[in-house]
Structure 1
């Protein structure tokens, strides 16, 4: 019976980062130099970009780097470079929120 229902998903926030600086990289696009304020930013997470309390983009992370090395996740208190798939309009002060969608078990 449970297999007949559509799955229900809930959003679980992983963390938030503030864009401190932006870098234009030829062939890649705009990379956000960001500081992780709380939680963590994970490479496989979905993100939303918030500017002046308004969500301006939702998408996926295309690259996540700590110094020059690729990273799977970056934790609170660290800086990193974040590339966003198909979005280059990043500005200093933007907030990047990372989240995942988890399936809710029906009982």
Structure 2
């Protein structure tokens, strides 16, 4: 049986063309990988920037602010991780760049 799931709601490990995946009982993943958020915290701390990884999971404005600060720092690895996390939020429908 195939289930149509919007691509932004699928875990990255289950993505397939056109959002079709076998029904494997997968749950929708969170907004960002905790491993990536902990790595971001370590990298940001090396630049004197604070980060609360758990808060990044539920506070969109905070997440956007911290990702912007990380990207603006000028460190290529930090910029790349910040961009990857921003893209993950967007793919999963968090739209952290749109604050009302």
TM bracket, shorter-chain basis: under 0.3
Q: Which has the higher strand share?
A: 1
Q: TM (normalized to structure 2)? A: 0.28
Q: Which has the higher helix share?
A: 2
